[in-house]
Amino acid sequence: MTMIFGIPVQALMGQLLVGLINGSFYALLSLGLAVIFGLLRVINFAHGAQYMMGAFAALLLLTVGGVNYWLALILAPVIVGLFGAVVERTMLSRLYKLDHLYGLLFTFGLALAIEGTFRYFYGASGMPYAAPAALTGAVNLGFMFLPIYRGWVVVASLIVCLAVWFMIEKTKLGAYLRAATENPTLVQSFGINVPLLLTLTYALGAGLAAFAGVLAAPVYQVSPLMGSNLIIIVFAVVVVGGMGSILGAIITGYMLGVVEGLTKVFYPEASNIVIFVIMAIVLILRPAGLFGKDA
Amino acid sequence: MAGKSEPIASEHIAIHPKAGQIQLVLLAVIGAALLLAPQFLYPIFLMKLLAFGLFAAAFNLLLGYTGLLSFGHATFFGGAAYFTAHAVKVWGWPPEAGILLGVLGAAALGLVMGAIAIRRQGIYFAMITLALSQMFFFFCLQAGFTHGEDGIQSVPRGTLFGIFNLSDTMTMYYFVLAVFVIGLLIIWRFVNSPFGMILKSIRENEQRAISLGYSVSRYKLGAFVMSAALAGLAGGVKALIFQFATLTDVSWQMSGEVILMTLLGGIGTLAGPVVGAGLVVTLQNYLATSDFPVTIITGVVFMVCVLVFRRGLIGEFFASRLGRRLGFRSES
């Protein structure tokens, strides 16, 4: 058997893949957080809950409505995005003029309420969601077996991340978004509906979280608490990357996922905390984050 | 943080000429009620209330008077509970030494977490404290002395100063009450000291405090360590009250709970967090027997507080006509 640094290549590649998959979720979620924060100046604590809602939406669409995976991949983000839009319009928008900490506290309460409600109706244990038939099985890459679904997760999240990046950096709508981030009053005076832009942005962020949730449903079990620990890791990812840059959030997400995966191979005891340790080191050496501009 | 957004109405209300005396009478009534309470209410419940009241007041020292929102205070509360429980049970230390170890341990953790977290401000500060406290949670999950999921159980209460046998519930109650009163006095003294005044000036205008020559990060760190140490005092006492220390005390849910207590009672008031803790603890006790999950209520109360009730109960009272006539004012 081939060995690298005294570790069998199969094990190394396996963990690298697990790291890439976790990294895909970190990237999608931290991207959504960064987009919302950029315009709304709100740290969306409910992001983990919205990820969970995406997975549940896929599960319920399948079991109740018989809707298949591919349709759910589109429908679930739309449903959760609409929910996000309603929350933003009716409640969150009242908090913009206050200290930003109130936005964090509000979405924290929202996350507790959502997770508590799902737990009340569906219990705390996980429920399986089968991957679509087209994506089951594995291919032999010569040096390892690649389960097709896991490969799909990495590819799908990469495509969506790049699409969002393109939308924000290269399109007219994205230009409005970026302009409103810099100076909302001025943009509004040009006749652009900034409140609508804010609602759309929150819905987009929530939808991205839900998309990650649908992708995650076949990999992990669908459970009401699947997002609550994940969101704390994503916060650390966001602190490491610095929220100033969309591309920075994406790159940091994948990078930290891979680092976490490798830690599982070389020093498993530390795999739970390695991202937090990296966060502490980055804060000491470069407080603004790897891609951040403002301290 | 409430100060910037909601200035108290500017209409002038004369303070009642005997406001000071009325405040003292109120204080005496509350004191007498606390002394007599265990005759009427379940002592363990009262002790839990006092411990969480002190915890919330310690947290408010940071949020209400320095404007820093820590999302990681469970680390100090739960960490101290582990230290005290371990020292008393495994090393056979007397309770006063065990609690002292808890306080010092929490202060040390606060020094490390504070030194890292104050490098960023506002929302980032909250996220960093949350992440670091989650790291401490995983440490406690894996470290040997905490016994993982089981926690440290059947911790003996011991004999205080070799005289007072704390296994007696009434003796324990009055000990907890004494710690609670001392803790609140320390906070009151600290807030009204020159150090506390500088903290308030940092909260109001950090740039100006810097230009006046204050080393802002040193003051912030000092407040953070002080708040951590007092949260540790509450945690150490809590370990002796319930005679166990578990992972629940270091989880992020606990950090969220203490924020809710403070928000509900009133940020920036001495009594607010204590009242908020009383409400939350009572609610949990009440719901413990039903199968309705507490988190839904907690979450909704959180949302309502943030949306329409940012001053909290005591804050609203202080801002009301009656409260202002009695000479009360909120600090934020």
Give the pLDDT score at B12. 62
- By the 8 A CB rule, do B120 and A283 touch? yes
Please give the structure tokens belonging to residue B201: 């000036």
Question: SS3 for A286?
Answer: coil
Structural domain spans, chain A: 3-285
Nearest residue on chain A to B63, alpha-carbon basis: A101
Q: Is A43 near chain B, with CB under 8 Å?
A: yes
For B178-189, give one letter per residue: b (16+ CB within 10 A) or e.
Answer: ebbeebbebbee
Q: How many domains does chain B have?
A: 1
Taking an 8 Å cut-off on Cβ atoms, the answer to whether A120 and B292 are in contact is yes
Q: What is the pLDDT of residues B280-330, one digit of tens each?
A: 988 888 887 777 788 888 889 889 988 888 888 888 777 777 777 777 776
Contacts of B294 in chain A (CB under 8 A): 116
Nearest residue on chain B to A282, alpha-carbon basis: B116
Q: What distance in Å separates the CA atoms of residue A204 and residue A202, rounded to the nearest whole number?
A: 5
Please report whether residue B131 resides in a domain.
yes
Ordered DSSP codes for B41-76: S-HHHHHHHHHHHHHHHHHHHHHHHH----S-THHH
Residue to mutate among B124, B262, B292, B297, with most A CBs inside 10 A, is B124
Give the pLDDT score at A214. 93
Q: Which of A206, A281, A203 is nearest to A240 (CA)?
A: A281
Integer distance in angstroms from the first to the last C-alpha of chain A? 49
Q: Is A113 near chain B, with CB under 8 Å?
A: yes
Nearest residue on chain B to A124, alpha-carbon basis: B293
pLDDT band of B179, cuts 50, 70, 90: very high
Q: Looking at the domain A3-285, which fold is it?
A: ABC transporter involved in vitamin B12 uptake, BtuC (1.10.3470)
Number of other residues whose CB lies within 10 A of the CB of residue B162: 9
Taking an 8 Å cut-off on Cβ atoms, the answer to whether B122 and A101 are in contact is yes
Q: Which residue, chain included where needed, has tokens 């802002």?
A: B216
Q: Decide: residue B309, CB within 10 A, 0-12 exposed, 13-18 middle, 19+ buried.
A: middle
Q: What distance in Å separates the CA atoms of residue A221 and residue A213, rounded to the nearest whole number?
A: 11
Please report whether residue B4 resides in a domain.
no
Contacts of A112 in chain B (CB under 8 A): 256, 295-296, 298-299, 302
Nearest residue on chain A to B256, alpha-carbon basis: A108
| Residue A169 φ/ψ, nearest 5 degrees | -90, -25
The parent domain of residue B109 ranges over 37-250
Q: Which of A250, A263, A284, A268 is nearest to A23 (CA)?
A: A250
Torsion angle of C-alpha atoms B278, B284, B288, B289, degrees rounded to 10:
60
pLDDT band of B78, cuts 50, 70, 90: very high
| Nearest Cβ partner for B306 among A106, A272, A279 | A106
Ordered DSSP codes for B74-85: HHHHHHHHHHHH
Taking an 8 Å cut-off on Cβ atoms, the answer to whether A105 and B259 are in contact is yes
Please give the structure tokens belonging to residue A240: 């490491």
- By the 8 A CB rule, do B82 and B254 touch? no
Please report whether residue B22 resides in a domain.
no
Nearest residue on chain A to B134, alpha-carbon basis: A232
Taking an 8 Å cut-off on Cβ atoms, the answer to whether A102 and B292 are in contact is no
- Looking at every residue in chain B, the average pLDDT score rounds to 85
Amino acid at B231: A
| Nearest Cβ partner for A43 among B123, B141, B293 | B123
Amino acid at B218: R
Q: Give the gap in angstroms from C-alpha A182 to the nearest C-alpha of chain B.
A: 19
Residue A124 makes CB contacts below 8 A (sequence gap 6+) with A223, A224, A225
Contacts of B252 in chain A (CB under 8 A): 232
Q: What distance in Å separates the CA atoms of residue A211 and residue A78, rounded to the nearest whole number?
A: 9
Taking an 8 Å cut-off on Cβ atoms, the answer to whether A113 and B134 are in contact is no
Question: SS3 for A270?
Answer: helix
Integer distance in angstroms from the first to the last C-alpha of chain B? 6
- Interface pTM, i.e. ipTM: 0.84
Taking an 8 Å cut-off on Cβ atoms, the answer to whether B69 and A104 are in contact is yes
pLDDT band of B120, cuts 50, 70, 90: confident
Please report whether residue B320 resides in a domain.
no
Long-range contacts of A100-103 (CB under 8 A, 24+ apart): A100/A41, A100/A42, A100/A43, A100/B122, A100/B123, A101/B1, A101/B69, A101/B122, A101/B123, A101/B126, A102/B1, A102/B306, A102/B310, A103/A40, A103/A41, A103/A42, A103/A43
pLDDT band of B13, cuts 50, 70, 90: low
Number of other residues whose CB lies within 10 A of the CB of residue B241: 24
Q: What distance in Å separates the CA atoms of residue A282 and residue B207, rounded to the nearest whole number?
A: 25
Q: What is the pTM of this model?
A: 0.87
Least confident of A57-71, B2-16, B242-256, B311-325: B2-16
Say if residue B4's pLDDT is above 70. no
Please report whether residue B189 resides in a domain.
yes
Taking an 8 Å cut-off on Cβ atoms, the answer to whether B5 and A98 are in contact is yes
Bridge partners of residue A145, in order along the sequence: A140
What CA–CA distances, in Å, run from A176 to A102, A187, A192? 26, 8, 8
Taking an 8 Å cut-off on Cβ atoms, the answer to whether B302 and A109 are in contact is yes
Nearest residue on chain B to A99, alpha-carbon basis: B1
Nearest residue on chain B to A111, alpha-carbon basis: B299
Least confident of B7-16, B180-189, B195-204, B305-314: B7-16
Q: What distance in Å separates the CA atoms of residue B245 and residue B150, rounded to the nearest whole number?
A: 9
Q: Is A294 near chain B, with CB under 8 Å?
A: no
Give the pLDDT score at B112. 94
Please give the structure tokens belonging to residue B20: 């000071």
Give the pLDDT score at B20. 73
Q: Which residue, chain included where needed, has tokens 């969150």?
A: A92
Taking an 8 Å cut-off on Cβ atoms, the answer to whether B119 and A284 are in contact is yes
Give the pLDDT score at A68. 87
Give the pLDDT score at A294. 54
Q: For the residues B20-40, what does the mean pLDDT come to?
A: 79
Taking an 8 Å cut-off on Cβ atoms, the answer to whether B296 and A113 are in contact is yes
| Nearest Cβ partner for B128 among A117, A229, A239 | A239
Q: B158 or A64: whose pLDDT is higher?
A: A64
Q: What is the pLDDT of residues B213-224, one digit of tens each?
A: 888 889 999 999
Residues of chain A with pLDDT under 70: 1-6, 293-295
